Chains A and B, each alone.
Chain A
């Protein structure tokens, strides 16, 4: 395993593994971290996994680890790298199984004190209206060509069916519709897995959280995003469910053969890849886009259930509880983007796994009102602690292919968390702090204990100080809803 003295320190928060560290590296690897976060990252296989991504054909500049990096499979969680679209590869395992796992934030105009008397009722209603757990049927029965439409058109389908409001779409990455999505590239098996799952939360680290804005750091961004102190907001964290998992599984399996066809040699079979421009590569791009659309639609339908829950509980008691969209971001995707490399605009495939897009101000893909502040970046912290809203910067465009971190990042295994934390005690502690908890699994709660994660405030401090994101708001939890 690599040790600290083998790294070059490029600045206070940027460390580099030189290309000479391993013979098979095609580019250096950079890590954004302070000393403590770096020590965490060096304890498991995160850095080795990051270095493995630098062996992918066509990689440009350097691979990047965000400060929340932790060990995954194939690429690490919190890893970003880009390959040349002309002669580079695309790797499904470096995107991950939960394609377009992401976060959406909705904001009300209610303050937390007004909500407090209704909080317990709201938590129960959210838990009831937003199906969680595995294999739980969604509230929506898909018929006829619904699935094909969702896969090809994402949020547009939800708007037609009344699950979205017009204002939701511009506040969703890609407007909630990946244009190159191709339902015909999604296997029957994947479609079957997703059939009953639209509008469901799933299990693991996925959640819905009711929060209050505890602090604002940027007046201009707060004004554009309509955020104010003590405001009630809601976070949704989930992805493409079994459909996305199966798409990834299908292509990781298929690409085991494809690497032989294209003579691609890799240090980890999970990283199998195909040339981006090849028919096999393009099949994955179409299927990944379709799975991403399913995830956008999934978070949109959950947002619909959350709005319904707010109306059920608060009508007649509180005014202005309508939830308006702040933003919706993906954190497991590969995307075709233009970035400046050695002074030239180059088309690259940016792989982000457990990392978010964080485009800076004036980016042409942002809606007009967000151009002044940059793309919102939504960073959920560990359960019961705090979360953050940031914005992308010119620095993220210059340094990290317009990318930023995605969360706190694990430090303990689930095994260790279960051994050291009792779910019941954790729930009691959160209750004592005034946080309502509704969870399907108590041991699942223990696995997500805050002790199992890095300190998210440390992670965002590094992001902010390194200039790859700009702090806007801190959120504190009022209610946690989990599978």
Chain B
């Protein structure tokens, strides 16, 4: 199963992430975010514990990805491995692995709710996300 695929969008970026279960879906959506930025680093040298909340599953996905962007921008880090340790429809806890990063020249400003969908498929789950770049 692919972790994600990039979709066409005139101005911004859009991707579809896949997972056998919701935890894998949330992890792969995070992976897609950093893969699109070209910010994946081979060597993980640090970990962070992350918590996110949302009023429903879609809002939780937006807030989880937004928290990663916030940390990336303020701590000058990039992340490549994502372990979801707790996941309900409204709460998430995760451990992420990453590294200190050079300032990125490309980046995602924000994760939007536009056309946001989390759907069950024959193979598991998929999420469609539009991000502002």
CB pair B8 A413 closer than 8 Å: yes
Are A414 and B13 within 8 A (Cβ)? yes
Q: Is A19 an interface residue (CB 8 A)?
A: no
Would you call B106 and A97 a contact (CB within 8 A)?
no
Scan residues 414-472 of chain A and give those whose CB is less than 8 A from a CB of chain B.
414-416, 440-441, 443-444
B101: min CB distance to chain A, Å:
8
Q: Across the interface, do A136 and B103 meet the contact criterion of CB distance under 8 Å?
A: yes
Q: Is B123 among interface residues, defined by CB-CB distance under 8 A?
A: no
Q: Which stretch of A59-67, A70-78, A221-229, A364-372 is in the interface?
A: A70-78
Q: List the A side residues contacting B101 at CB < 8 Å.
A: 135
Q: Which residues of A contact B63 (CB under 8 A)?
A: 253
Instruction: Report Cα–Cα, A133/B66, bound state, in Å.
Output: 19
Knowing A133-B104, A135-B73, A135-B104, say if A413 contacts B10 (CB, 8 Å): yes
Instruction: Give the residue of A245, A246, A252, A410 whose beta carbon is less than 8 angstroms from that of B10.
Output: A410
Most chain B beta carbons < 10 A, residue from A136, A414, A444: A414
B112 at the interface (CB under 8 A from A): yes
Q: Judge whether B130 is part of the interface by a CB distance below 8 angstroms.
A: yes
Distance, CA A70 to CA B73, complexed state (A): 28
In the complex, are the beta carbons of B8 and A97 less than 8 A apart? Answer: no
Chain A binding surface SS class: mixed
In the assembled complex, the CB of B65 is this many whole angstroms from the nearest CB of chain A, namely 10
CB-defined interface of B62-74 with A at 8 Å, one 1/0 digit per residue?
Answer: 1100100010111
Question: Is A185 located at the chain interface by the 8 A CB criterion?
Answer: no
B6 CB, min distance to chain A CBs, angstroms: 6
The reply to whether A444 and B10 contact each other, CB–CB distance below 8 Å, is: no
Across the interface, A134 reaches (CB within 8 A) one of B58, B62, B105, namely: B105
Minimum CB–CB distance from B55 to chain A (whole Å) comes to 5
Whose C-beta in chain B lies nearest to the C-beta of A204? B133
Q: CB-CB contacts of A88-115 with B at 8 A, as 1s and 0s?
A: 0000010011100000000000000000
Chain B residue nearest to A73 in the complex (CB): B114
Main secondary structure of the interface of B (DSSP, over half): loop
Least CB separation from B130: chain A residue: A73
Q: Is the CB of A414 within 8 A of B133?
A: yes
Contact A134 B66 (CB under 8 A): no
- Tell me if A483 is interfacial: C-beta within 8 Å of chain B: yes
B109 within 8 A of A: yes
Q: Is B99 an interface residue (CB 8 A)?
A: no
B46 to chain A: closest CB distance in Å? 16
Tell me, yes or no, whether B87 is within 8 Å of chain A by CB.
no
- B116 in contact with A269 (CB, 8 Å): yes
Contact yes or no, A204 B109, CB < 8 A: yes
Instruction: Give the docked Cα–Cα distance between A249 and B8 (Å).
Output: 23
Q: Which residues of B contact A (CB under 8 A)?
A: 6, 8-13, 38, 54-55, 58-59, 62-63, 66, 70, 72-74, 76, 101, 103-107, 109-116, 130, 132-133
A: residues with CB less than 8 A from B are 44, 46, 70-74, 77, 93, 96-98, 132-136, 189, 192-193, 195, 203-204, 242, 245-246, 248-249, 252-253, 256-257, 268-270, 272, 410-416, 440-441, 443-444, 483
Beyond known contacts A133-B105, A256-B54: 20 more, CB 8 A cutoff? A72-B11, A72-B114, A73-B12, A98-B132, A135-B72, A135-B107, A136-B103, A193-B70, A203-B107, A245-B109, A246-B70, A249-B66, A249-B110, A253-B66, A269-B58, A269-B113, A413-B8, A415-B6, A415-B9, A415-B13
List 27 A–B pairs whose Cβ atoms lie within 8 Å, in order of A's numbering: A70-B11, A73-B113, A73-B114, A73-B115, A74-B112, A97-B112, A98-B132, A133-B105, A134-B103, A134-B107, A135-B107, A189-B70, A192-B74, A203-B107, A252-B112, A252-B113, A256-B113, A257-B55, A268-B114, A268-B115, A269-B114, A272-B113, A411-B10, A414-B12, A440-B105, A441-B105, A441-B106
